[in-house]
Chain A
Amino acid sequence: MGNEAMARGAIEAGVSVATGYPGTPAAEIIDTLGRVAKDVGMYVEWSVNEKVAFEIALAASYSRVRAISAMKHVGANVAHDSVATAAYMGARGGLLLISCDDPGSWSSQNEQDNRIFAMHAYLPVIEPSSPQEAKDAVAYALDLSERLGHPVMLRSVVFLSHATGDVVLGPVRGDVNKEPVWERNVDVAVFDARGARINRSRLLERWERIREAMNEVPFNDLEIVDASVNGRRLGVIAAGLAYSYVVDALRWLDLEDKVSLLKLSTTYPLPARLVGRLLGSVDDVLVVEELEPFIEMQTKALAYEIGASAGIHGKKYLPVARELNPRKVYSALAAFAEVGGRGFSREDALMENVIPRRPPVFCPGCPHRMSFYALRKITRSKKPIYSGDIGCYGLGYLPPFEVIDTIIAMGAGMGLANGFSLLFPDRTTIAVVGDSTFFHASIPALVNAIHHNRKMIAVILDNDVTAMTGDQPHPGTARDAMGNPAKRVMIEEVAEGAGARYVEVVDPTDIRRSEQAFRKAVATDGVSVIVLRRPCELIRVREKLRAGEKLEPYQIDLERCTACKICYDLFSCPAIMRLDDGKAMIDTDLCTGCGDCARICPFNAVVPLRELEGRVGA
C-alpha cells in the first residue's frame, strides 16, 4: 500500500521520530511504523492532535534528528499555526510533513488542496506518482530537507495512499544522526518581532536555493518529442498520481511518441528550467493535476515571465472537483489532441440503473447503536439541536437514527454547541463527540461553555480507541502507538476538573441508566457531560476470536416475535433481517452476540441461538 511504502521510506531514511493523528487516508503510515518501531529504533507516536504531532517533529528536527509527521489534509489545518512558522525557522534534522489529501472527499469533510496550504507556509512540495516513488520520495525529501535546512511537504492523495503495487525496497541508511543535540539559538527559534523579521529574510534567501534545487529532483522527467498531432506540437504536464493515468491514456490514444511529456513531482515551487524547456518546444500544453489549477496557474505565470507563447490549458478539459480517473484523463487528452477516442455511452447507460443506496451503518454490536437508540428515545420530545462531530458516530445523522444535525470539523461539535446554546437557550443543545475527538479539539470548547455558563449537554461516546480509522490509541487508551502501556486520561476527570455541573459515566448497554442520565442532564442548568463508555465491538470480537473463543449469536424466537419492527426499523442492526411476514430474523454469520437487541426487544423474543436450538431439540 502507498502508505506502507511511505513508512518504509521513513525507515530507510533513518527517521528517529514519527508522529501523527489518525485520519483517513493517512493513518496507515504511523500504524505501520508503530508496529515496527522497536525493531527499527524509531519513536512513533499517535499524538493528541496534529498540532502537537507536528511540534514534536519540529523539536526533533531542531535537535538535529530526522522526523516525519503524517496527517490527512484537514488534519494539517490543525497543525497550521506551527507549520506556518516552521519554514521561517528552517530544519536542522530532515523534517517532512506528509499530507494525504482526499480528492473526492471519500472520507473527509472537504477536498482542500494542500499544495495551496504548502504555498502559504513556504513548504516545497513533492508529489509521488506510484507506491514505489512514494517510498523513494520520503527518503529523498528527508535528505533534501536536511541539505536545504528547510521543512518539506510530501503530498499524497487517497488513491496513492491506498494504492497497492509491487515495491522494490532499498537499504536502511546507517549514516544518519540519531543522537539529539540541544543547541540554544534564540535567533532561529524565538519568534518575537525581531526574530520574525530576521527569519523572514533568511527564509526568502533560502527559498531561492530551493527553487533552484527543484530542477534537480530525480522524480521529475522531461521527454521532448519532435512530432505534431493535427498540425500542433503538443505537451502534457502530468503531476503526481495523474502521471499514471496520463501514461496509460497516451498509449490507448496512440499518442505515446507524439506528445512531449513532463512528469512533474515537484509541484511547488515549479522546476522553472524544465517547465520552460517544455513551453519552448510545443504549441499547446495540457496540465493534468487533481483539484485546483495550482500548477496551471504557476505555469501561466512562468510563461508570462519568460515570454513563452504556448497555449496553457488545464481545467478547461479537466474537472476541479473530485478525483481524477483514467476515463477523465483519457477523455481530456482526446479532446485536447483532437483525436476522437472511444465513447462511453454504454457505460453511462449502465450508471443509470436504479440501485438502492447503501449508506454505511454501525457495525453489529457497535455500542453507538445503543447510545443513539437511548438518546433519541429520551430527547425526541424536546426537539434538541444535535451538533455532531467526526468519527463513526457521525453515522448517527443517517437513517434510521437521524439525530445528528451538523458535522463540520474535528472539535466543531462542541464549538457549535456553544453557539446553538447561546442562540436557542430554550431548546436543548446536545454535542455528540467521540473520545478521540474530545481530546483532539473539544476540550477548549467545553471549557468555554462551562466558563460562560451555557446550558448544554456534551455526550462523549467513549469506545476506548479512534475506531473510525482503525483502532488507534488516544490519550484515554491504556497503550500507545508502539504498544507500550500508557497513562489513561479520564474524560470524566477532565470534565469535573473544568467544573461541569453534572458528570456521569454510563455503559450504554445499560439502557435504563443511560435514560436516567439523559433525563437528569436535560434538567440541569449548566453544562452536563455524559460519558457513554463501552469498548468498540470490533476489538471485543477480535480479542475473543484470538483467544480461541467462539461468538455466541442470538436468534429470534418466532413464536414470541410480534413483527413490531423495532429491532430492524428503529434499532437497525445489520445482522437483523426482516422476513416477508414482518417478523425479524438474525443473520447468525453477522451477529457478534452482543445481546443489545435482546435488551431492547419488548417481547423477549431475542434469545441466544444455543438456547433456541436446545429448545427445538427438546
Chain B
Amino acid sequence: MSDDVLDVVIAGVGGQGTITGAAVLGRAGVIAGYKVRGIDNRGLAQRGGAVMSHVRIGRDVNSAMVMDGEADVLLGFEPSEALRRAYFIKQGGWILLNTKPIPPITVTIGRESYPDIDGIIRTFKDDAGARVLAFDASELANEAGNPITLNTVMLGAFSALDTLLRPGHLEAAIRESFRRKLQDVNLVAFQLGREKALELLRSRSG
C-alpha cells in the first residue's frame, strides 16, 4: 500500500518450485538491503495441490501476508492457479503468467472443466485491471535445459519489471541459493525469462 514496499504473490501447483522461487526472491530482497517477510502454504505442496507463497520486501514490512488487492506482482506458475489468486493483484499491478496448464485430477477424470486461457487473461485485464505478460515459461525452462528451472524463468521475467529489486540482486540470490551444479542452468533460465519479458514489454509499448 506504499511505494517503498514490494508485494509479490506466487501461485502454482505443488512440485513446480514455487517455494524455492519465493525463497530466492526473498534472498534478493535481503541482498538489496531490505527487510523481508514471506509465507508459504506448504502442507500439501509435494502432492500436486494448489500452492501459494507471499513475499514482502521493503524498509518497513511487518505482516508476512499480502493483503487482498495489494500485490504489485502476481507470478502465475500455472494459469488456473493464477486465476485462483487473482484477488491479490492491485489495480494496475503486473501478472506474469506461464500459459502452460497443469489440469487438476478433477479435470482429468472429467468432473470439472479447465478454464479457457484467453478467458483467464481477459479476466486479469478487464476484471482485475492488471497488466499481463503471458508466455510459455515451461517451454523456456526446457530450453534452458531443465524443467525445474521454471521458477528462475519466472524470476527472470519479473526482473524486467521496474521494482525495488535490480536484476543483479536476483542473479546474486540465484548464485547463493543453488548448488554450483545447478547455478548455470538457473542463470540461463533467468536470462531466457528476462529476455522474453523484455520482448513482450517492447511489443506492448510498440
Residues of A within 8 A of B (CB): 24-25, 106-107, 130, 159, 162-166, 243-245, 247-248, 252, 325-327, 330, 342, 344, 346-351, 353-363, 392, 395, 399-400, 538, 568-569, 572, 574, 576-578, 589-590
Cβ contacts under 8 Å, A348 to chain B: 87
Residues of B within 8 A of A (CB): 1, 13-15, 22-23, 26, 30, 35-44, 46-50, 61-70, 80-81, 83-84, 86-88, 91, 103-115, 123, 127-129, 147
Task: Contact check, B115 vs A357: say whether CB atoms are below 8 A apart.
Answer: no
Cβ contacts under 8 Å, A569 to chain B: 109-110
Interface hub of A325, A360, A538 (most chain B Cβ within 10 A): A360
Cβ contacts under 8 Å, A25 to chain B: 43
- Say how far B40's CB is from chain A's closest CB, in angstroms: 6
Interface hub of B15, B39, B104, B111 (most chain A Cβ within 10 A): B39
Task: Contact check, B104 vs A358: say whether CB atoms are below 8 A apart.
Answer: yes
Task: Contact check, B46 vs A159: say whether CB atoms are below 8 A apart.
Answer: no
Q: Given the complex of chains A and B, what is the CA–CA distance between A363 and B45 in angstroms?
A: 11
Interface hub of A245, A327, A354, A356 (most chain B Cβ within 10 A): A356
List the count of A-B residue pairs having beta carbons below 8 Å apart. Answer: 158
- Say how far A329's CB is from chain B's closest CB, in angstroms: 8
Q: Given the complex of chains A and B, what is the CA–CA distance between A363 and B48 in angstroms?
A: 7
Task: Contact check, A248 vs B62: say whether CB atoms are below 8 A apart.
Answer: yes
Partner of A165, one of B37, B49, B113: B37
Q: A250 — nearest CB in chain B belongs to which residue?
A: B62
- Say how far A409's CB is from chain B's closest CB, in angstroms: 17
Q: Given the complex of chains A and B, what is the CA–CA distance between A576 and B105 in angstroms?
A: 10
A358-B104, A400-B109, A572-B105 are known; give 18 further A-B pairs, CB within 8 A.
A25-B43, A106-B43, A163-B38, A163-B64, A164-B38, A165-B37, A244-B62, A252-B1, A326-B66, A327-B67, A330-B67, A346-B128, A347-B87, A356-B107, A359-B104, A360-B14, A361-B48, A399-B111
Task: Contact check, B84 vs A355: say whether CB atoms are below 8 A apart.
Answer: yes
17 contacting pairs across A/B (C-beta < 8 A): A106-B43, A159-B64, A162-B41, A164-B36, A166-B30, A166-B35, A247-B62, A326-B67, A346-B129, A353-B83, A353-B86, A359-B105, A399-B109, A399-B111, A400-B109, A577-B103, A589-B147
- Say how far B68's CB is from chain A's closest CB, in angstroms: 4
Task: Contact check, A356 vs B113: say whether CB atoms are below 8 A apart.
Answer: yes
Cβ contacts under 8 Å, A361 to chain B: 47-49, 105
Cβ contacts under 8 Å, B13 to chain A: 358
Task: Contact check, A162 vs B40: say whether CB atoms are below 8 A apart.
Answer: yes
Kindly list the 7 A-B residue pairs having the minimum CB-CB distance in the complex, ordered from nearest: A107-B43, A360-B49, A326-B67, A360-B47, A358-B104, A356-B112, A164-B38
